[in-house]
Structures are given as structure tokens and as C-alpha cells.
Amino acid sequence: MSLLYEKESYEIRGACFWIWKEFGSAFKESIIDKALTEELLRRGLKVENQKRIDIFYQSKKVGTYIPDKIVNDSILIELKAKPFLTKSDYLQFQRYLKGSNYKLGFLINFGNKLTIKRYVYDKIRKDQRQIRDLLNGSARDPRFTKEIRERSAFTLMELLIIIGIFAILAGIGFISIVNYKQNQDLTSTTQEIVEVLRNAQNRSLSQEATSTTGTGGSWGVHFENPNGDGNDFYELFQGSNYNNGTIVSKSNLPSNIQFDIPASGSSSTVIFSPITGLPDTATTIKISLISSPTSSSTITINANGKIQY
């Protein structure tokens, strides 16, 4: 979207910066005023100085305002040369612009620093006129009440639509957070299982003994998927056989994760040989999200002892 009177605004700013570069704040307002006129004319703009313009209140003329300059019959310029602009300077210029028929104005001060304030009041005046005309011309019209009701209903409908959109977005955001959390659980559980498998393999390689048996040998991991009770777990043990081995640790799967392999009601065990660390059989373990079985992770232990996922 382009600025209102974009080209003219650019030239006005450029002229001010050029004069500031030449004069700074060394001269009186009258000298700055003449220099600015010459620079604006040099840039191809039409300039009118001290032109009287009418000030209106509710579409009625109530006075006259004399701005320093009018550029291209469309832009008011009020020029100052004082140390700094005050709040009253800003408010006064805004009121002048608001009361005129001009859409754009510049309040410019060549003071301790160059200050250029650009004001647009066309939309504000338009909105105010519409409200005033509606109140003055339609307040006694029976259609006025109906129009207000219709506008209010439409506004309420818009509000309900916006609330609905926010609710949908909030729901989507919540679902995304839940999905992210579940996928994180799936990833971390996979890594924990792999860590236990590698732990068992390393202990077999070193023939590590437990404090209970006092002798080293094989280590393994047992995976159990009880029949539909949802308490899937896996255990690290020491021994050449799970049933006769020594359980060192037991880990339950998170409540939102299940074993796909081994299947429900079955189990699987992998035992690593001492010294070589090779598994007794190639094994596959698969876990998935209970709420979304397609979100899964597969761990393989091949015959050469490589554990990957």
C-alpha cells in the first residue's frame, strides 16, 4: 500500500534535509521559510505561502487558518524554528489539519534537531462525518433502529466467527503439542531400549559378573508383551537363559507406548555370547504409539551383533 501523496512527501522531506544540512538551526524562521520555498520550487512542486484556508466545525465554517505553505494544492506545511516542539505545537497543528479540508500535513521544526512530523487526517474526518450524518439524519427515522440492530447482529456474528476460529486454532495447537510430546516419548523410549541392549552386549564382551552370582558370562534382554493388559516391559538379566537368569533391572514402557513386536501375549529374548558379544539369534523389536500405531520405531539386532534403529 502506497503512502498518501508519496512522491510529494518524499520531496518535502528531501528539501528539509537539504536545508538542514546547509543551515542547521543557525537562522530565523523567516530565512528558513524562504529557503524551503526555493528548494521545493526547485524540486518541481507548487508552493503557496500564507494562503488563507477555512476551518469547519460540523460542516460549517467557523474561522480561518493561515498555514506557512500549501504544496501542490494538497499538503499543509507548518514551519517552526525553535529549540524543540511542545505538546501544544503538535495539538494545535493537528486541530488545524482536522478542521480543514486537507488530507495531509507536515509540522517541521528546524531546532536543536530537525523534526518532521507527518499527519494524515482524511480517514478520521470521514469516519466522524459518517457518524454525525447517521446521528443527525437518521435518529428519527424508524429504519435507523433497524439498521443499528442489523449492524450489531452482523458485528456479533463476526465476533462469533472470530471466537470459533480462535477455538479451532487453539485445538489444533493443543493437538500438535500432544503429538509432539508423544513422538518425543517414542524416540526416548527407543533410545533407552537400545541403550539397555548395548549395555547387555558390552557386559557379555567383558564377561561381567553380578554381585549375586559372582561369576561372569552371558547377558541378555527379555521383552514381554502381556496379553492386552497394557503393562509391556523389558528386563536386563545376567545368564545364558532368561528363566534361570538373574534380573538386574526392569523397565516398563510408558503408558502411551506398546510393543508391536513381540506381539500381544508373547515375548522375545536376546542373549549375547561372552567374549564375542554376538546374539543367540537375530531379533527385531518394534514399539508404537497406542493412539497412533502408524507412529512406530523398529530396533534390529542382526546376526553380527549390530544394534540399530
User: What CATH number does the domain containing 67 carry?
Assistant: 3.40.1350
What are the pLDDT digits (tens) for 122-161?
A: 655 555 555 566 556 544 555 555 555 555 455 677 788 8
| 79 neighbors 33 (Cβ within 8 angstroms) | yes
pLDDT of res. 2: 62
Q: Choose one of 88, 110, 130: the last residue of a domain.
A: 130
What mean pLDDT do residues 29-39 have? 94
124 and 200 in one domain? no
Spatial CA neighbour of 48 closest among 74, 30, 26: 74
Find the CATH number of the domain harbouring 203. 3.55.40.10
- Name the residue among 207, 223, 205, 227 with its Cα closest to residue 305: 205
pLDDT, tens digit (0-9, with 9 covering 90-100), for 74-126 = 999 999 999 999 999 999 998 888 888 888 999 999 998 999 999 988 655 55
User: Average pLDDT, stretch 167-187?
Assistant: 80
- 305 or 209: which leads in pLDDT: 305
Q: Answer yes or no: is pLDDT of 235 > 90.
A: yes
Q: Is residue 152 part of a domain?
A: no
pLDDT of amino acid 152:
47
Confidence at residue 205, expressed as pLDDT on a 0 to 100 scale: 87
Does residue 147 fall inside a structural domain?
A: no
Is 80 part of a structural domain of the chain?
yes
Is beta strand 69-71 parallel, antiparallel or unpaired with respect to 60-65? unpaired
Q: What is the DSSP string of 83-114?
A: SS--HHHHHHHHHHHHHSS-SEEEEEEESSSE
121 with 211, same domain: the answer is no
Please give the residue range of the domain that contains residue 34: 6-130
pLDDT for the residue numbered 303? 92
The total domain count for the chain is: 2
- Residue 150 inside a domain? The answer is no
In a domain, 46, yes or no: yes
Residue 208 lies in a domain: yes
Same domain? 92 vs 203: no
Boundary residue ending a domain (92, 112, 130): 130
Confidence at residue 179, expressed as pLDDT on a 0 to 100 scale: 77
Residue 223 confidence (pLDDT) above 70: yes
Choose one of 113, 130, 147: the last residue of a domain: 130
Confirm whether 183 is domain-assigned: no
Of 27 and 71, the structure prediction assigns the larger pLDDT to: 71
